[in-house]
């Protein structure tokens, strides 16, 4: 592949490499670069990767994520990271043992939520989170099908009323992944290797990660039978059903 179209800083990593598309959303193009021990190159519109760059470096400093090799913000954003050894938790070898996977993910999340966050570069996740929901409500962005059963809302108005009335109950006291889904947790033969896709992280309310953890088991395993087990394994005493429903309302607005 001709690498001349990429920023000059990235070309030494890309020359004589094989490329594989690993994208999972229309907003970001992710390329696996098969060279040395492997790299991942993410590209988005300008500015969209700034927070992910900052948080990935922070998590890496705690031994929890990949090493960032380059972040470039020009006409587009580019983020180059080293590949973390292992496979993400949506791999079949993990999905085939759902009970063990459920317990493992709950234990890892509990450990993350117990981490010291005083030096985190994003200390205002909840403020940003609620502001984004309000902005998307005003822009008529609403995903009714995100979680249609226990935590679903029939309309944007219903979800927005919940946020207006009870959004203040969300806390800012826990280090979050922000998108705690199976594809974003890397295990190496069941040993934790790291977290990826940290652009929604920061210090906020633990129920954001709990919501996405429960959601991902429903989405990836096509059943809600592990929801209660996950809550028990995480620690039911620290799970507030009301705050889960508030988070669900916020998430309906993307």
The number of CA neighbours under 13 Å toward the Cβ of 156 is 13
CA distance 201 to 59: 10
Characterize the bridge pairing of strands 185-188 and 87-88. Answer: antiparallel
**What tokens were used for 182?**
């199976």
Residue 133 Ramachandran class (φ > 0 left, ψ -120 to 50 alpha, else beta): alpha
Handedness of CA 189, 120, 27, 5 (dihedral sign): negative
CA distance 174 to 52: 18
Backbone φ and ψ of 19, nearest 5°:
-120, 140
CA distance 141 to 132: 11
- For residue 57, the tally of other CB atoms under 10 A from its CB is 17
Catalytic status, residue 119 = no
Catalytic residue, chosen from 16, 88, 179, 188, is 179
Find out whether 89 and 185 touch, Cβ atoms under 8 Å. yes
Residue (of 195, 50, 223) closest to 122 by Cα position: 50
Find out whether 204 and 170 touch, Cβ atoms under 8 Å. yes
Chain-centroid distance, C-alpha 218:
16
The catalytic residues are 179
């Amino acid at each position: 592949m001709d690498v001349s179209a990429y920023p000059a800083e990235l070309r030494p990593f890309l020359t004589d490499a094989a490329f594989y598309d690993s994208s999972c959303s229309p907003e970001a193009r992710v390329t696996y670069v098969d060279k040395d021990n492997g790299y991942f190159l993410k590209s988005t519109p300008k500015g969209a990767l700034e927070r992910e760059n900052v948080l990935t470096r922070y998590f890496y400093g705690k031994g929890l994520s990949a090493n960032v090799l380059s972040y470039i913000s020009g006409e587009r954003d580019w983020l180059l990271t080293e590949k973390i050894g292992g496979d993400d938790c949506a791999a079949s070898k993990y999905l085939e043992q759902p009970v063990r996977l459920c317990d493992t993910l709950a234990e890892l999340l509990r450990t993350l939520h117990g981490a010291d966050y005083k030096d985190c570069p994003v200390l205002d996740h909840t403020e940003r989170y609620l502001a984004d929901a309000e902005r998307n409500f005003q822009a008529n962005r609403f995903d009714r099908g995100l979680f249609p059963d226990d935590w679903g809302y029939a309309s944007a108005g219903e979800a927005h009323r919940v946020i207006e009335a009870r959004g203040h109950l969300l806390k800012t006291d826990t280090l979050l992944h922000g998108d705690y889904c199976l594809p974003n947790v890397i295990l190496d033969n069941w040993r934790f290797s790291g977290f990826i896709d940290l652009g929604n992280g920061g210090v906020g309310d633990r129920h954001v990660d709990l919501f996405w953890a429960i959601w991902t088991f429903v989405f990836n395993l096509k059943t809600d039978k592990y929801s209660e087990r996950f809550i028990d394994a995480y620690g039911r005493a620290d799970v507030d059903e009301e705050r889960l429903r508030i988070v669900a309302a916020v998430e309906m607005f993307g």
